[in-house]
Amino acid sequence: MVKKTGKPSARKTSVDKRVKMNRAQRCRQIAGVRKKQITRAAYEVIAEKGYYNFTMMDIAKRAGVSSGLIHHYFKDKENMLVTLLREMQQDVRAKLEKATENLTDPRQKLDIFMDQAFGLVDSDREYAYVIFDFLTQVKYNDRMKRILTKLYRGYRETCEAIVKEGIEEGTFRKGTDSHFIATLVITAFLGLREQYIIDNTAFFYLEYTNKIKSSIFGMVLARK
């Protein structure tokens, strides 16, 4: 007769560990989905009401969750807003890079990059309003300032990499200041977008974006 020791078998222990790992993985997945659901609701609410005119209950109603669940995933209002801003920064840069990843011609890459940047006015008008609201906080909130700094730096670095590639391949003019061109592109994008959103009767947006693009290419294209 075999004496029972009361210790779990190695096989049972292994199964129990897999069950716990699977359960933990599902919990993380659910948490990820919930967080995105809440931050998307925050994005929409802030775009509609502004940074100072919304409550956590507004976001809870839009997300279809309880306010308690929001506090479960986000320590406080600032933590949720910082998370939202970080996700916006990551999403925009990912879209810009994805649009150019399969291209080999630096001129095409720069053209698509500028189209994607200027096109945010039409493709995601809410984005501009939310960014405007966050910009009002950079003087008072170091965390938001750091994330916005990273956002604009990311724009410049992506654009600068394209210009450098064009210089190396001879498509763009030798001696071109890639950092200056990248800064100029982002400045034009931000400034034109801001003016247009404030007063969309001031100029024809598409016409002016095309003129800006032509001017940029006139500065960087190598002479044949």
Same domain, 87 and 99: yes
Average per-residue pLDDT in the chain?
82
Cα–Cα distance list, 157 to 88, 179, 183 (Å) = 17, 8, 9
Which CA distances in Å does 171 have to 92, 168, 176, 210?
A: 27, 8, 11, 20
Number of folded domains that form the chain? 2
* Structural domain ending residue among the three candidates 74, 109, 125: 74
Task: Report the CATH number at residue 3.
Answer: 1.10.10.60
Structure tokens at 169: 């391949």
Residues 123 and 192 in one domain: yes
Identify the weakest region by mean pLDDT among 18-22, 50-54, 144-148, 201-205.
18-22
Q: What is the pLDDT of residue 30?
A: 65
Range of the structural domain that residue 205 is part of: 76-224
Summarize pLDDT for 77-104 with one digit per residue, the tens.
778 777 887 887 778 778 777 877 788 8
**Amino acid at position 7, single letter:** K
Angle at 72 between CA 66 and CA 78, to 5 degrees: 95
CATH code of the domain in which 217 resides: 1.10.357.10
Q: Where are the beta strands (DSSP E) in the chain?
A: none
Do 3 and 113 have their domain in common? no
Q: Which of 46, 74, 102 is the last residue of a domain?
A: 74
pTM attached to this predicted model = 0.73
Decide: residue 74, CB within 10 A, 0-12 exposed, 13-18 middle, 19+ buried: buried
- Sorting pLDDT into bands at 50, 70 and 90, what band is 21? low
Give the span between the Cα atoms of 81 and 39, in whole angstroms.
8
